[in-house]
Amino acid sequence: MATNMLKHAFLIFRTYLDLFIDIIYGYFWEGARKPIPDLEKKHAMLAESAVTLAAKIRNKELKSEELVKACIERIQQVNPITNAVTDERFEDALKEAKEVDKLIETGLTDEYFQKKPFLGN
């Protein structure tokens, strides 16, 4: 019986402690939140699915380099807020995108796209 009361008292204490901590942290950090900016028109393609973008690249409606540049610009715009990107290999990504564009210009077969739909390594 005493153990049950002690558990109940601890549960009530913990509930109020959590509420108090939430209020304190909310006071200090609520104003620090910054909203993620909406996509700009030039980055509208980033809202499309990867499958759709891969098809556009295959059909030469979109250059891989153009897509990678849009991704890099968006990362640079959003990362100061999210702090999600730890390895910025932008130059390598652009180099690989240019190689993919050259590869597509040579005229790849449908079989190649079946093996590598996103043309990655």
Q: For residue 58, what pLDDT is reported?
A: 85
Q: Is the pLDDT confidence value at 121 over 60?
A: no
50: pLDDT strictly greater than 70:
yes
pLDDT in tens, 72-105: 999 999 999 888 998 989 999 999 999 988 988 8
Would you call 108 exposed, middle or buried from its count of C-beta atoms within 10 A (0-12, 13-18, 19+)? Answer: middle
DSSP letter (8 states) at residue 47: G
Q: Contact 94/50 with Cβ under 8 angstroms?
A: no
pTM score, whole prediction: 0.68
Look at residues 73, 8, 1, 3 and name the one whose alpha carbon lies nearest to residue 40.
Answer: 73
The CA dihedral of 105, 109, 113, 114, to the nearest 10 degrees, is: 180
